[in-house]
Amino acid sequence: GDSVTQMEGPVTLSEEAFLTINCTYTATGYPSLFWYVQYPGEGLQLLLKATKADDKGSNKGFEATYRKETTSFHLEKGSVQVSDSAVYFCALGGGNQFYFGTGTSLTVIP
Amino acid sequence: DAEITQSPRHKITETGRQVTLACHQTWNHNNMFWYRQDLGHGLRLIHYSYGVQDTNKGEVSDGYSVSRSNTEDLPLTLESAASSQTSVYFCASSEERSSAKQYFGPGTRLTVT
């Protein structure tokens, strides 16, 4: 069945460092791919999405490219800030359901 | 502004009791979802609904039920609470089906003792 595998955490970075959080997927058909962010004590918020192969989603300096050949949707940011500290979830939408990764906790230290 | 709310935000109950968690959205979305979030598992889909009178089982539906009598509400019922159901529960809604953005509620932390 469909599934998402994402990089284990936690990840700790210094402010202005480069961020990559890996996400790979298994799917039949042509799913849409998403990154959600969860700040402490809150629900998830959509960060970015891509609906077809080679699409690049971007928001707030974060980017991810839908790579069909490697079944990947890695999240990147060139220069992280303390305010980016949160849990990041990769997700796949296909058929009638959504599948989320296990989440990657990011802490950015000044 | 449109929103999605959950109540209660925190609940402690005893094993064997029936518990209902409320979810209310003012987006007028047809699609609503219930997830549970557990460490090491991420979010797992419990039940979902694509409209009034429509309900479907998700990945981890055993021990849970939902009903959809109007567009705005999708209450989640634990028929006989078990300690394994201690978790954080999130409700979400979306305008379209699986390719669309989901709007999440703030979550309900349920502890079953």
Helix/strand/coil for B91: strand
Statement: residue B96 has pLDDT above 80: no
DSSP state, residue A14: E
Q: Which of A46, A98, A100, A102 to mutate to test the interface with B (most CBs of B within 10 A)?
A: A98
Chain B within 8 Å of A14 (Cβ-Cβ)? no
CB distance A94–B98 less than 8 Å?
A: yes
The mean pLDDT value for A6-35 works out to 92
Give the model confidence (pLDDT) of B43-84 as tens digits.
899 999 999 999 999 989 999 999 999 999 999 999 999 999
DSSP state, residue A52: S
Name residues 49-108 of chain B within 8 A of A (Cβ): 50, 56, 58-59, 90, 92, 97-102, 104-107
Looking at residue A83, what is its pLDDT? Answer: 95
Looking at residue B99, what is its pLDDT? Answer: 62
Statement: residue A96 has pLDDT above 70: no
Asked if residue B8 has a cis previous peptide bond (ω within 30° of 0), the answer is yes
Give the model confidence (pLDDT) of A14-23 as tens digits.
999 999 999 9
In terms of C-beta density within 10 A (0-12 exposed, 13-18 middle, 19 or more buried), how is residue B103 classed? buried
Statement: residue A95 has pLDDT above 70: no
Q: Would you list the DSSP string of B14-67?
A: -TT--EEEEEEESS--SEEEEEEEETTTEEEEEEEEEETTEEEE-TT-TTEEE-
Would you say B88 and B42 are in contact if contact means Cβ atoms under 8 Å apart? no
Dist. CA B70–CA A32, nearest whole Å = 28
Chain B within 8 Å of A100 (Cβ-Cβ)? yes
